[in-house]
Structure formats: C-alpha cells, structure tokens
C-alpha cells in the first residue's frame, strides 16, 4: 500500500469519527475542555489546552474528510513527480496545522497553527520551482505575515485579561477590548483575503491543484473566518458597518473579476473569494452560526470543483485557459457531471448543498436593518456567481472544438473515486447539516416577491452568463471602447498592482539609501565599529603590558627617577 492510500484512509476514518462526535456533542450540548500538562518545573506548570465542542469537532471532521480525498486524488495526480513524498508530508503538515488552530481556545497555541499554515502554504505555493511560483509565494507569505503580527500584538494585549484563554472572556467588555477586536479582524482579513489583502489568493494558484483544492475549500482561507466566528460574541459591542462594507465589496469585486478571467483555476479562486466575502458579511451582520454553516457547505462543493478542474487541466497538457477546453464533456463524462453538480451547488440552485446556506443567509440579511445598498450588493453578487459559473460551464464543456484537440483524455479511476463522496456531500451535505445544526424551527415570513427574489437573481444571472458567452466582442468592440472599465473590473480593482509594484517601487530605493547611509556609512563606523575599535585598543594595551611587563616596569622606574632628580 502506498503512502498516499494509507494516509487518505486514516484521515477519512478519523474525519468520520470526529463528525459523529461533533453531532453527538451538538445534540447533547456538551463541551469538553482539556488541559494537558506536559511539563512541570519548579512548581511551574506548562499546559496545552484543547477545546472540543460541536463546532470544532465538526470542522475538524470536514477538514479530515476533504484532506483524505485530496491525498487519495494526489496518488494519481503526483504520480510522475520526483518530489511526491515531500509533497505528501507537506500536505499532512498543513492539515495538522489547521487542526491545531481549530481546537485551540488559547491565542498562544492558535499562533502555532496559524504560523504553521502560513509557512507550509508558502512551501506548497513554491513547490513547482520557477520564478512565477516564487513571486506568488512571496506575495502570499508577506501578506499573511501582517495577520501573524496582528495575532502577536493581540497576545501581548490580552495580558490585560490575565490569561490567553480568550474563550473565558467572550462576555467581558472593557473599553480597551476594542483594540483586541480590531487586531483579530485584521488577522482574519489577511488570512481570508478580504479587501485590501485580496491579491494573494489568486496568486496562490501556482501551487499544485490538489493543494488548491485543500487551501480554497477548508483550510488556509477559512482559518480567518473561523477565528472571527470564535470571537463573534465581542462584535455585538461594536458597530461593524465598515467591516461589513469591506466584506461586501470583496464579494462583489471577486464576482466581477471572475466574469473577465480566462484562467480556470483563477476563476475558481475568485469564486472562493466571493464566498468568503459572503461568510464575512453575514458574520458582521450578526449570524455567526450561519457563517459556519456556509463554511462547511462551501468546503464540500469547492473541493469537488477543484478536483474536477485538476483532472481537466491534467488532460489538457497542463493548460489552464478555458478557451482551449472545447467539448470536454464528450471525453470526460463523469468528471463533467461532477463539475456541473459542484457549479450548481455553488450557484445555489434549489435543493443542492449551497442552496440551504445561501438562501438562509440572504433571508437573514433581508430581515436585518441595513440599507438598500447592502440589499442590492448581496443580490447582484448572487447573480454574478451564477453568471461566471454559467460562463465556465459553457467554455469548458460545450464550446466548439478548440485548438487543443489532440489530447489523451483519460478518466483516472483513483481520481474518479475521490470525487464520488464529495459529489454526494455537495448534493446532500447542506440539507443534512441544516437539519442537525438548526434543530429548532424558526418561522420567517416574507412577501412573495421577496421570497422568490433570490431565485429570480439566480436564474437571471444564469441567463446573463449565457448571453455573455455568445456576445461577439470583436464586432462591437465594447471591451476596447470601455477598456478602462473592463481592465479595472478584470484586474481585481488594481489590487495586485497596489500589493506589488506600488509597494516595492517606493520601498526598495528608500531601503537602498538607508543601507548606504546607515549599514555601509557613518552608522556602521559610529554604531557597529566603535565598540570594536575601543575594545581592540584596550586589548592591545593589555597585551603590550602582558608581553613586556619587565621592560615596562624598568621604563616606569627610570622615568620616576628622572622626574624626582629634576
């Protein structure tokens, strides 16, 4: 048995076990708080603390199930790679870091998992060692370092409480608690790639596709949302309108950008960004359990979407351009069926997994007391999701035969088996979870036009996406006539330029001049070298005295005699 099959089987076993434990904890309202004293020294106890409640156990179970299927899929995907063993252990380390972050009620131990996620994600993004991967990896890790620093400062700030167990202080509010919330929100925004830190998420697509499936469904990018869900009880003391605006703008910007993109993996990455904006928005409106519910359902269909895309890219000689993928449905029927199911679940088509969470989120948004701007952005973003999904399905599956016609299309059995369980979860996962998490029925009454409005936007978004596929840009030249608008919409509102060129364009000349002035100039002589010069002079005097002590004594004696005679 290979390493991949063994690891996948064990993770699947533990994932199912954790899920059932989480559901039993949920039904019994049971929470397990575990202190493990691993060292006692001179009366001081060093303890690691774990929190097992329904939320952490369900999330760990889902992460393990998805990771097991991704590792099983990688058995075939990374078969011909010479570094496949290193890849396997990196993915395993990634999953363990995520688990460490989920079950920690302590900011210190959260930092271990948080930093582990950032470091291992960097190693996975630069796995294919070329210049583009290296640039994407640097952008990823440097953006995530901002969030790491925010966690470090919040650890220092929590000394005001007397303990780093944040779970004890969720119902405590002091005037300086505002700064703690701001730091935690900053950390969550960097890890979950909200505006203005969005540019690293599509760049992280340089990693192998199984890693993208894991990162964008249930691990790295969802860590920020999960952290904010844990701290959500503190948000009721604050006005979260500004954070809500940023997360809504992220959702809208990602949907708009995906409609202009032709790279398959980047379209799915922007789709992830849009869903993260949706989770953050409903969290700041005041429904953390709903945000967690959508986090789980999104993990199922997004992992499936990436696995299907990975097989398509594999068959297209590693080309990711959707304009090269004509009539794939004739050659990869099972993969394309799973691809369509995950896309429909993403769009929120009725009775699929995504419908239960998205419909509930939009209904709760309609019951909250926010203005029409929030209302419009939410519905337009839902329509944009369906629009780019329809465009993706059209270009990949049913477009005319493209230039990449002579390919060896082959549906691998290992890859297909890993898709089956995710397909079932993408169909039934939402309904099962909604029955279990929201066990008490809540009646929400709407007028008919409000009740059917999400469905209207879903179907109208699909129609717009279909029309855009047939829209002949070359004859009307709309994209050239409104070039600035199309370029602005398709380039994530210039955020990659702000994150890269504008940053190092000013910073590097400044740092070079500072190096010339300080490290290589008077600063080095005055600050670095002066202690050395002083100590070396003293040592020379002492050495001279030590080596010539008789002659020195005689010289001093003669000098004193001469002085006394004079």
Place of tokens 């303890």: 47
Cα–Cα distance for residue pair 102/220, rounded to 1 Å: 11
Q: Look at residue 246 and tell me whether its pLDDT is greater than 80.
A: yes
Residue 106 has φ and ψ, to the nearest 5°, of: -125, 130
Cα separation, 251 vs 356, in Å, equals 19
Burial 205-228 (b: 16+ CB within 10 A, else e): bbbbbbbbbbbbbbbbbbbbbbbb
Q: Which residues have C-beta within 8 Å of that of residue 40, sequence separation ≥ 6? A: 46
Residues 7-49 have pLDDT tens digits of 889 999 999 999 999 999 999 889 999 888 888 888 888 888 8
Say if residue 454 is in the same domain as residue 549: no
Give all strands (DSSP E) within 67-183, no chain letters.
none
pLDDT over threshold 90, residue 83? no
How confident is the model at residue 10, as a pLDDT?
92
430, 325: one domain: yes
Residues 6+ apart with CB under 8 A from 247: 194, 277, 280, 281, 283, 284
Domain annotation covers residue 371: yes
For residues 472-476, average pLDDT: 51
Is residue 198 within 8 Å of 254, Cβ to Cβ? yes
pLDDT value of position 227: 92
Average pLDDT of 529-535? 77
**Does residue 479 register a pLDDT over 70?**
no
Structure tokens at 296: 């789980």
Whether residue 163 lies inside any domain: the answer is: no
Q: Could you give the number of structural domains in the chain?
A: 3
Kindly state whether residue 193 falls inside one of the protein's structural domains: no
pLDDT band (50, 70, 90) for residue 523 = low
Q: How far apart are CA 132 and CA 139, in angstroms?
A: 11
**538-549 average pLDDT score:** 79
Lowest mean pLDDT among 65-79, 208-222, 248-262: 208-222
pLDDT at 178: 86
* Statement to judge: residues 546 and 444 lie in one domain: no
The reported pLDDT for the residue numbered 475 is 47
pTM, 2 dp: 0.86
Residue 211 near residue 127 (C-beta atoms within 8 A): yes
Has residue 438 got a pLDDT over 50? yes
Q: What is the band of 400 on the pLDDT scale with cuts at 50, 70, 90?
A: low
Which of 220, 248, 267 is the last residue in one of the domains? 220
Full domain range(s) for residue 433? 239-470
Q: Which residue has the higher pLDDT, 17 or 235?
A: 17
Q: Are residues 446 and 316 in the same domain?
A: yes
Q: Is 186 contained in some domain?
A: no
Which conformational region is residue 49 in: left (phi greater than 0), alpha (psi within -120 to 50 degrees), or beta?
A: beta
Of 365, 24, 361, 73, which Cα lies nearest the Cα of 209? 73
Q: Is 327 contained in some domain?
A: yes
**Given a cut of 80, is residue 527 above it in pLDDT?**
no
| In the block, residue with structure tokens 């169909």 | 427
Residues 285 and 414 in one domain: yes
User: What is the band of 481 on the pLDDT scale with cuts at 50, 70, 90?
Assistant: low
Q: How far is CA 15 from CA 11, 58, 75, in A?
A: 6, 9, 19
d(CA 537, CA 401): 81
**Same domain, yes or no: 446 and 539:** no
> Is the pLDDT reported for residue 472 higher than 60?
no
Quick one: what percent of the chain has pLDDT higher than 90?
28
H/E stretch holding 173 reads: none
Same structural domain, 146 and 269: no
Same domain for 243 and 216: no
Lowest mean pLDDT among 237-241, 367-371, 488-492: 488-492
Provide the pLDDT for residue 277. 93
In a domain, 178, yes or no: no
Nearest to 215 by CA among 314, 10, 224: 224
Domain end residue (candidates: 188, 220, 252): 220
Q: What is the pLDDT of residues 309-330, one digit of tens each?
A: 888 888 887 778 887 777 788 7
pLDDT of residue 1: 59
- Give the pLDDT score at 21: 93
Residue 137 CA: distances (Å) to CA of 101, 201, 321 = 22, 10, 22
Residues 461-470: tens digit of each pLDDT: 988 888 877 7
Q: How far apart are CA 282 and CA 288, in angstroms?
A: 7
Structure letter (DSSP) for residue 318 = T
The last residue of a domain, from among 438, 454, 470: 470
Across residues 332-340, what is the average pLDDT? 89
**Is residue 195 included in any domain, yes or no?**
no
Question: Could you tell me if 402 and 532 lie in one domain?
Answer: no
Same domain, 313 and 344: yes
Give the separation between CA 344 and CA 342, rounded to whole angstroms. 5
- 466 with 378, same domain? yes
User: Tell me, what's the pLDDT at 344?
Assistant: 92
Angle between helices 549-565 and 530-547 (to 10 degrees): 80
| Pair 138, 10 in one domain | yes
- Mean pLDDT, residues 532-536 taken together: 80
In whole angstroms, what is the distance from residue 259 CA to residue 193 CA? 19
**Cβ atoms within 10 Å of 19's Cβ, excluding its own:** 18
Q: How far apart are CA 256 and CA 278, in angstroms?
A: 14
Mean pLDDT computed over 132-137: 87
| Residue 347 forms part of a structural domain | yes
Mean pLDDT of 153-180: 84
């Amino acid at each position: 048995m290979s390493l991949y099959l063994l690891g996948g089987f064990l993770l699947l076993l533990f994932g199912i076990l954790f899920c059932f434990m989480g559901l039993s904890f949920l039904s019994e309202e049971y929470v397990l708080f575990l202190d493990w004293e691993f060292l006692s020294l001179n009366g001081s106890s060093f303890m690691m603390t774990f929190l097992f409640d329904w939320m952490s156990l369900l999330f760990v179970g889902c992460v393990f199930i998805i990771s097991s299927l991704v590792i099983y899929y990688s058995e075939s995907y990374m078969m011909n790679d010479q570094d496949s063993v290193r890849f396997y252990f990196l993915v395993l380390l990634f999953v363990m870091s995520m688990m460490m972050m989920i079950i920690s009620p302590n900011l210190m131990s959260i930092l271990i998992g948080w930093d582990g996620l950032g470091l291992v994600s960097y190693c996975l993004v630069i796995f294919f060692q070329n210049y583009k991967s290296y640039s994407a990896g640097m952008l990823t890790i440097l953006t995530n370092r901002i969030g790491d620093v925010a966690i470090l400062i919040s650890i220092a700030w929590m000394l005001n409480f007397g303990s780093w167990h944040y779970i004890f202080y969720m119902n405590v509010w002091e005037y300086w608690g505002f700064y703690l919330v701001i730091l935690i929100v900053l950390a969550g925004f960097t890890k979950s790639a909200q505006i203005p830190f969005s540019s690293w998420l599509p760049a992280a697509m340089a990693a192998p596709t199984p890693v993208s499936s894991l990162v964008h469904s249930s691990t790295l990018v969802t860590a920020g949302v999960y952290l904010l869900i844990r701290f959500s009880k503190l948000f009721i003391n604050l006005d979260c309108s500004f954070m809500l605006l940023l997360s809504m703008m992220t959702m809208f910007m990602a949907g708009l950008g995906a409609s202009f993109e032709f790279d398959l993996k980047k379209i799915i990455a922007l789709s992830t960004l849009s869903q993260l904006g949706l989770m953050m928005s409903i969290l700041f409106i005041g429904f953390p359990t709903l945000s967690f519910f959508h986090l789980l359902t999104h993990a199922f269909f997004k992992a499936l979407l990436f696995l299907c895309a990975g097989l398509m890219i594999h068959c297209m000689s590693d080309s990711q351009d959707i304009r090269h993928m004509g009539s794939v449905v004739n050659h990869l029927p099972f993969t394309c069926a799973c691809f369509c199911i995950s896309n429909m679940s993403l769009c929120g088509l009725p009775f699929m997994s995504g419908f239960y969470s998205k419909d509930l989120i939009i209904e709760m948004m309609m019951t909250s007391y926010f203005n029409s701007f929030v209302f419009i952005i939410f519905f337009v973003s839902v329509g944009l999701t369906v629009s780019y999904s329809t465009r993706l399905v059209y270009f990949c599956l049913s477009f005319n035969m493209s230039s990449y016609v002579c390919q060896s299309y082959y549906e691998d059995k290992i890859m297909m088996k890993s898709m089956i369980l995710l397909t079932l979860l993408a169909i039934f996962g939402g309904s099962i979870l909604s029955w279990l998490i929201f066990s008490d029925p809540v009646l929400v009454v709407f007028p008919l036009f409000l009740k059917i409005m999400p469905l209207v936007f879903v179907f109208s978004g699909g129609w717009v996406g279909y029309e855009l596929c047939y829209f002949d840009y070359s004859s009307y030249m709309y994209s050239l006539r409104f070039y600035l608008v199309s370029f602005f919409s398709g380039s994530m509102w210039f955020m990659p330029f702000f994150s890269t060129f504008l940053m190092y364009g000013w910073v590097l000349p400044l740092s070079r001049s500072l190096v010339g002035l300080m490290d290589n100039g008077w600063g080095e002589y005055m600050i670095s070298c002066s202690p050395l010069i002083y100590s070396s002079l003293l040592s020379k005097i002492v050495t001279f005295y030590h080596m010539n002590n008789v002659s020195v004594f005689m010289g001093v004696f003669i000098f004193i005699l001469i002085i006394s005679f004079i």
